[in-house]
Amino acid sequence: MTTPVRDARTRQGREELTALIAAGAAQLTSAWSILHTSQRTLLNRLAQIQGGRTVGAAQQIRTALVAFNADVGEFDRRARAFAERWAAQDLPIAYRDGAVRALRRAEADRALFTWTASHQAAITGLTAPFWADLIRRIVEAVRRAQAFARAAQDAARSVTGVQPEQLIADHPLDTVIYANQARHPVRSWAAAALSWQGVVTANNGAINTARDELDAQWMQVRDGDECGWTSHPDTDHADGTLRSLDECATYPSAHHGCIRELYPRPDLTGRTDISDGDPA
């Protein structure tokens, strides 16, 4: 079977997706840094108060907490603004670029892609849960920051006073907590989460364009040499195989950090001798 030519334009398109994801992760990490920086500032200010017994200690504690809560509000504003922009602007760009790359791979006119009702419905269906996932993380970060503030206030009012390193260990605001309670640095979480969303969105753009504009039935997969089809350790390796559109829609990506790309093969439409997983 003939493998589509990998030209410089499709490589450039992939690089643009990588740059979009990297820029988004940097912006999200920057917003999160407000929490960690403000946490350190609050603890330094409270540590100067001797067990809440110095003259004017109560007012000093209140003033420090007001400043911290203002920073939490600024984080919430910036992070939510990013989530809105990511879902409303960046992910649609990733979808469109995935569609255009698919057309280029098939040596079709890129002008075939327009924002039809079908594509609009597809991007809405993708961005809604992705936006909700980011907002859930932001809400959780605010809740954790508020819990830290209460703990810091109690410590500042206690006889022993504030123990900064212990409070940071108990309330690490520069991490994200996964469902299994594992803590991951915000930077690595942001890169993984946005990469997943960007790759899934771009590949859905390719899949839907293959179906709607090219009348294709099969996609050719480009992936890491050892990446499995359903997950990284899956022994059904993905790279260089042919998969039906339905299979591709089910597994547009195998795992966080996956580099999977899907290319339409309209030249194979109508063939009855191909099965999912056959080599291209």
For the chain, 280 residues long, the average pLDDT of each consecutive 10-residue run is 47 80 97 97 88 73 96 98 98 97 95 97 97 98 97 90 92 93 94 96 98 97 92 92 96 90 95 94
Structure tokens at 114: 């327009």
Q: Are 161 and 155 in contact (CB under 8 A)?
A: yes
Cα 66 to the center of its chain, rounded Å = 31
d(CA 110, CA 107) in angstroms, rounded, equals: 9
Length of the chain in residues, anyone? 280
Q: What is the pLDDT of residue 1?
A: 44
- Single pTM value for the model: 0.90
Q: Are 85 and 134 in contact (CB under 8 A)?
A: no
Q: How many CA atoms lie within 13 A of 76 on its CB side?
A: 15
Residues 166-193: tens digit of each pLDDT: 999 999 999 999 888 889 999 999 999 9
Paired sense of beta strands 242-244 and 261-264, if any? unpaired
Q: Are 219 and 207 in contact (CB under 8 A)?
A: yes
Q: Look up tokens 């500032």; give the residue.
A: 41
- Segment holding 176, helix H or strand E: strand 175-177
Q: What is the pLDDT of residue 134?
A: 97
Q: What is the pLDDT of residue 52?
A: 53
d(CA 111, CA 107) in angstroms, rounded, equals: 12
Q: What is the pLDDT of residue 2?
A: 41
Paired sense of beta strands 218-222 and 242-244, if any? antiparallel
Q: What is the pLDDT of residue 100?
A: 95
Extents of the domains making up the chain: 8-214
Report the chain's mean pLDDT, rounded to a whole number: 92
Q: Facing residues of 183 across strands?
A: 177
d(CA 99, CA 200) in angstroms, rounded, equals: 12
Ramachandran area for residue 215 (φ above 0: left; ψ -120 to 50: alpha; else beta) = left
